[in-house]
Structure 1
Amino acid sequence: MTAHLSETLTLLLIEDNDGDAFLVEELLKQALAPPKVFWARSLQEAKAKLTPQIQCVLVDLSLPDASGLEALKEVLALAPHTAVLVLTGLRDSHVGVAAVQAGAQDYLVKSDVDERLLARAIRYAMERKRADLAHVSLVQAELTAKENSRLQNALLPGPLLRTEAIEHVTRYLPGSGGTLAGDFFDTVQTPDGSVHIVVGDVCGHGPDEAALGVALRIAWRTLVLAGQTDDTLLRTLDAVLRAERNSPEIFTTLCMATISPDLRHARMRVVGHPPPVLVRDGAVQVVDGTPSGPPLGIFPDAEWSVIDVPLGEEWSMMLYTDGLIEAAVGESQELLGLEGLLGLVREHGAIDLDRLITHVGTLSDDLAVVLVRRRRR
């Protein structure tokens, strides 16, 4: 009966016995679409022929330069993404079972092979390999999601606020890679009634940067609760950054704001970071006098000036990371930019985070935003 190989495949046969190799090739020629078969007599010879075009490897477990499961493990290491079908001359099911347990997709005893069984075994091996790779990808995705969730809980905590006089809203979106970077934020109200806010961004992407962002956020919260809210806090964060980073090139930008207990005035330090957006008395603007100084982790003797910002009775203030203004928007996929952001806020008549994010297109970087708003009583 004609074997059901309905499309042309590319196979590699690793077999040192000329007769057995001839038999396999003759059986495969009876398929509807005979596959293209490369033949190697040893593992060493197979290395040169094992290209990305190979869809399935048929390997004998008795080769001149390797035998048994050693030969199989060598093939699996050479072709981790390719289906592997074991051929054995041993009438011992334990050998085949051990081969499958070691990573092969299936096994055949040479003396039992006919054209139909061989074609079906190749198809099965390829489909099982696809399923195995899909399962691995799914598991990796689940692990990444769980890790991201743990990191997000540490990077993006709930605010420590007692007052109900201001509205506090946050948003976080990962970049196009889907994994968390080093963006972080936090809000803490101290016993004197002052409200302290930070939004920061560790340069780079990946778990190391995210972990560093967690360390900096926790250090910031600890220092604020201990009463350190001025340049001493920044110098301590700078020391933490230098101690925890994996590379001397890693730096961190951030924006800190301390809102007075009467909620009418703010003192800010914009540390190499995008300037906050302020809506006050109906006017949309960026905070003047930025930046206060360079990012953390660059100059050991850096100083940062304080920016005094009158707020008044009714105001909104948004602190954010550069993922927002570096987002691609519109059909042209141009960067939003600071002027584009101000334009959207003016168009909306207020800072509406949900509408802003709806207008944002492709994110090349993480986006973290903190919005605080005080309405007239």
Structure 2
Amino acid sequence: MTDAPAATGPVRDRPRSTVDDDRQIRLLLVEDDDGDAVLVSEHLQDAGLDVALTWVRTLDEAVASLDVDCVLLDLGLPDATGIPALERLLAAGAPAVVVLTGQSGGDTGVLAVAAGAQDYLVKDEVDGHRLSRAVRYAVQRRRLEATDRELYRSLVRAEETNRLERALLPTPMIRDERLEVRVGYRAGRDGVLGGDFYDVVERPDGTVLAIVGDVCGHGPDEAALGATLRTAWRTLVLTGTRPADIFGLLEVVLEAERPRPEVFTTVAMFVIPPGRRTADMYLAGHPVPLVLGPPSELPPTTRRGRALGIPVGGTWHAQVLDLGESWRLLMYTDGLLEATVGGGPERLGKAGLLGVVDRVLASETGPRPAADPAGLEDDLVGRVLRDVRALHGGDLVDDAAIVVLGWGE
């Protein structure tokens, strides 16, 4: 690479043309003729265009110098000529390219634009004004194209996130209007959907099954796996699979679909018979749900099972909870437990979560609401999520999902 022509950047006391955001344009000139390179430099000075000009003589040098905003490319170089030179430069990741051609007639310029150049200029016809305008417009068009592409990608990502959310966080399938069902979810700090999922389904005989799960890790692969497991669970429930067999079949799906062999999933599941006085609780390495009060409490756990996907022995058995005539249960993922208190090192933990829940319950007034899957900010689920977030001092580090089931007055 040689030094750029001596005169670069704006000249004093001349009007200065700029791109809209007033940033200096980093310009790469690919030209093997010394005289033409000097003319380009002088034209830029005449136009008062603020540029940082780099001059190279060959295409190989140009390919190694593409950290710029715009390239002025001569199509007659020692190591490449014509449209193939442009195509090679674009394939190497060149930004906006303005072609310089010595041919005033023919289709060279049109072919260059068709191949991906932003514009073309005939050397004998160019002056400072035309060169400045071509460079500024090329840079702006390229930036607009990049913005459009990023916007499109954002829209695609948003739509994909919406599809995953619908798969992870479905509307509960409940016919019994006397049963309270409330659900809620908050994404973690980075806003990327994780692998937390929930579902609630009522079978034709009136039995209600509810699940909350958490795929280890965070990101699109975990979210996709969580959506797959949630869909598989609902399918097993709707096809009448015995509750005792569900976790084993979910593990088969997990092992077949997980992106890496070390990925596991924790799950909690309730099976509530039509009489609504008891519940069978199944735990697969998941935090113990709460029996709400006040005072709320953690039920004794004597039959905990391993997480799904962990290569150790053991299975899953139901622990029967005697609920009585009036009760409420709260299932959750560990994003709530991992919240900090006041931004310090202390974690909220189970005792802290019990305290938050009881404070929210103590402030409840009026009759207990009927089924409402919306997870609004002014209901039990929404207020617990809001209060935990307030204690943490902002968005939670991990995702958090909650399901509340209730019966009676």
Query: Is this a same-fold pair by TM over 0.5?
Result: yes
Distance (whole Å) between structure 1 residues aligned to residue 73 and residue 349 of structure 2: 58
- Is 1:22 paired with 2:7? no
**1:300, distance to aligned residue in structure 2 (A):** 5.4
Aligned-CA RMSD value = 2.7
253-262 or 99-108: bigger deviation: 99-108
- The amino acid that maps onto 2:78 is P
**CA spacing shift, 1:241–1:27, aligned 2, 3 Å:** same
**CA spacing shift, 1:7–1:177, aligned 2, 3 Å:** closer
- The amino acid that maps onto 2:82 is G
- Map of 2:406 onto structure 1: 373
Distance (whole Å) between structure 1 residues aligned to residue 354 and residue 346 of structure 2: 15
Higher share of residues assigned strand = 1
**CA spacing shift, 1:257–1:49, aligned 2, 3 Å:** same
- Map of 2:376 onto structure 1: none
- Is 1:210 paired with 2:223? yes
- Map of 2:322 onto structure 1: 310
- The amino acid that maps onto 2:133 is R
**CA spacing shift, 1:31–1:91, aligned 2, 3 Å:** closer
The answer to whether the 8 Å contact 2:16/2:50 transfers is no
**CA spacing shift, 1:367–1:85, aligned 2, 3 Å:** farther
Aligned ranges 1:103-252 → 2 under 5 Å: 103-252=116-265
**CA spacing shift, 1:369–1:103, aligned 2, 3 Å:** farther
Measured against aligned partners, the alpha-carbon deviations of 1:264-284 in whole angstroms (never above 9, x if no partner) come to 22111221222222213x212
- Is 1:38 paired with 2:71? no
**CA spacing shift, 1:167–1:43, aligned 2, 3 Å:** same
- The amino acid that maps onto 2:212 is V
5+ unaligned residues in a row in structure 1: which ranges? none
Query: What is the TM-score when the length of structure 2 is the normalising length?
Result: 0.81
- Is 1:253 paired with 2:281? no
Query: What is the TM-score when the length of structure 1 is the normalising length?
Result: 0.88
The answer to whether the 8 Å contact 1:168/1:371 transfers is yes
5+ unaligned residues in a row in structure 2: which ranges? 1-13, 363-378
165-174 or 65-74: bigger deviation: 65-74
**Tell me, what secondary structure is at the counterpart of 2:172?**
coil
- The amino acid that maps onto 2:291 is L
Distance (whole Å) between structure 1 residues aligned to residue 113 and residue 349 of structure 2: 56
- Is 1:353 paired with 2:381? yes
Distance (whole Å) between structure 2 residues aligned to residue 112 and residue 14 of structure 1: 18
- Map of 2:72 onto structure 1: 58
1:79 paired residue among 93, 109, 126: 93
**1:175, distance to aligned residue in structure 2 (A):** 3.1
**1:132, distance to aligned residue in structure 2 (A):** 1.0
- Map of 1:293 onto structure 2: 305
Distance (whole Å) between structure 1 residues aligned to residue 334 and residue 121 of structure 2: 58
Distance (whole Å) between structure 2 residues aligned to residue 220 and residue 285 of structure 1: 28
248-257 or 113-122: bigger deviation: 113-122
